[in-house]
Amino acid sequence: MLRIVSSRDREAVEQLLRGRADRLDEAERVVEPIIRAVRERGDDALYEYARRLDGLSDESVRVPPRRIAEARAGLAPDLADAVSFASERIRAYAERQMPLEWMEAAGPGIELGQLVRPLAAVGAYIPGGRYPLPSTIMMTAVPALVAGVERIAVASPRPSAETLGTAALLDLDEVYAIGGAQAIAALAFGTQSVPKVDRIVGPGNAYVAAAKKLLAGETGIDFVAGPTEIVLVFDEGDPHALASDMLAQAEHDVDAAAILLTPSRGLAEAVARQVALQMRTLPTREVAARAIRDNSAAVVTDSLAEACELSDRIAPEHLAISESVPLEQVRHAGSVFVGEWSPEAAGDYVAGPNHVLPTGGSARLRGGLSVLDYVKIVSVQKLTEAGLAKLAPAATALARAEGLEAHARSIESRTGAPGELPRA
C-alpha cells in the first residue's frame, strides 16, 4: 500500500529524502578487484568474468555480424516500425540541441569563435537484466550519430534479439556481449578484444554505476546513475492516471521510487487506492509492490508551492507536474513532463528527449544525456597586429601579477614593447 504522510512530519519526510541517496560503497568494494584485474590482465580477465558473470559461451565477446543481421530479420514488423519512428524523433530533438560553430568580430582586429567536434569513440552500455531495453540503444546511440561520432561500441550482457535487432536498424555492428564492471573496465582501458573509448554512457545496476564512478577520469562518463525515480507534483488530476505513472516507475526495480507531492489529501488518498487496485492485475507487481512499499509515498503538503520546494530538494530524475505549476518554479529535475497528458512512459520511448537521466539528486548538477555529451567545444581566437596591441597592456599586467614573465614577453615580442626579447 502506498504510504500517505504529511509534510509536517519532518522525520518521515527526511527519511524519504535520505532514502534516495546513492549508496555505492559496497558495490565499489565488489567491483574494485574486477577493474584491477581487467587493467592488469586485459582479455584474460575480461573473458574470465564474462564467462562467469555474463554467461558468455562464444569464443569471442564480440557479437558476430551474422547474429545481429539475423536479429534484425526476426524483429516483429510493428517493433521495427516503432524503432524507426522513435529514432527519428530522438534524432530530430538531438539535432535541435546541437551547438553551432561560429566566428565573429569581438573588436577591431579580434575574431573569436568556437568549433564543434565529435568525440572519436563512445561506449554505450545497455542493461540486459530483468527487461531487454532496445530503447536505450536508441537513446545512447542516436545522439552520438547526430554528433558525428565515428565509432560507437555497444556493451550488453546477454543481449536480447530486440536489442541486437535495434542495433542493426541503427547500423551499429560493434556489439559486445559483456556487462557489469568488466564491461566498463574493458571500454575504459581497452583490451585486445575491446578497443578503448573516450566516453561511456548509459544506465546500469549498482555495479555498473560504481565502476563508472571509479573509472571517471580514466575515461569520460555521462554521470553515475542510481535507482530510477519519479516525483509527481499535482494539486488535482486523474487518480487512475497518476497511479499508473507511479507504478510505471515502480516496476523497473525494487529500489525504484515514486513520490506524489500534493496539497490535496483527497487526491493522495484516491491515488493510493488506485495504486492498490491496479497492482492486483500488474504482471510486474512482485517488483512494483516492493518499490511502492519501501521507497514510495504520497506526501500531503500545505501548499502547491511547498510541494515544488520539496521536489527541488529531491532533484528527481523524472518530474511530472500539473499545468498549474509554472515551469519557472522548476529548478532541479532530469526531465519534466507537463500535465496529465504527458506521461513519463511516452518520454521513455518516443517523445524525443533522452531517457538516460541523472538520479539520486544528481539533477542538481546536470540534465539528461544529450548530443552535448558527444561533442567538445573548441575555442578559437584570431588576432591581427592591431588586435593584439589592444589586448597587450591588460594581458602583460596580469601575467606579471602572476609572476609569469615569459607570458608577458611572448606578447611584447610581437608588439615591440619594452619587454621584447632581443632578436638574433
Cα-based distances in Å from 418 to 144, 376, 390, 406: 51, 39, 16, 13
Contact (CB, 8 A) for 3 and 296: yes
Residue pointed to by grid coordinates 578487484: 33
Cα–chain-centroid distance for residue 273?
33
Q: Please report which helix (H) or strand (E) contains residue 301, including its range.
A: none
Count the Cβ atoms, other than its own, within 10 Å of residue 107. Answer: 12
Residue of 229, 251, 252, 318 marked catalytic: 318
- CB of 348 closer than 8 Å to CB of 230: no
Residue of 229, 317, 340, 412 with catalytic role: 317
Residue 46's contacts (CB-CB under 8 Å, 6 or more residues apart) are: 38, 61, 178, 182, 185, 186, 191, 193, 194
Q: Is 355 a catalytic residue?
A: no
Where does 128-254 have alpha helices with state H? 134-147, 161-169, 180-189, 206-215, 239-250
298 phi and psi, to 5 degrees?
Answer: -110, 120
The number of beta carbons lying within 10 Å of the beta carbon of residue 268 is 26
Q: Are 176 and 153 in contact (CB under 8 A)?
A: yes
CA 5, 11, 12 angle in degrees (round to 5)? Answer: 30
Helical axes 180-189 vs 43-53, angle rounded to 10°: 160
Task: Please confirm, yes or no, whether 14 is among the known catalytic residues.
Answer: no
Contact of 110 with 390, CB cutoff 8 Å = yes
Q: What is the DSSP string of 62-83?
A: BPPHHHHHHHHHHS-HHHHHHH
Q: Annotated catalytic sites, by residue?
A: 317-318
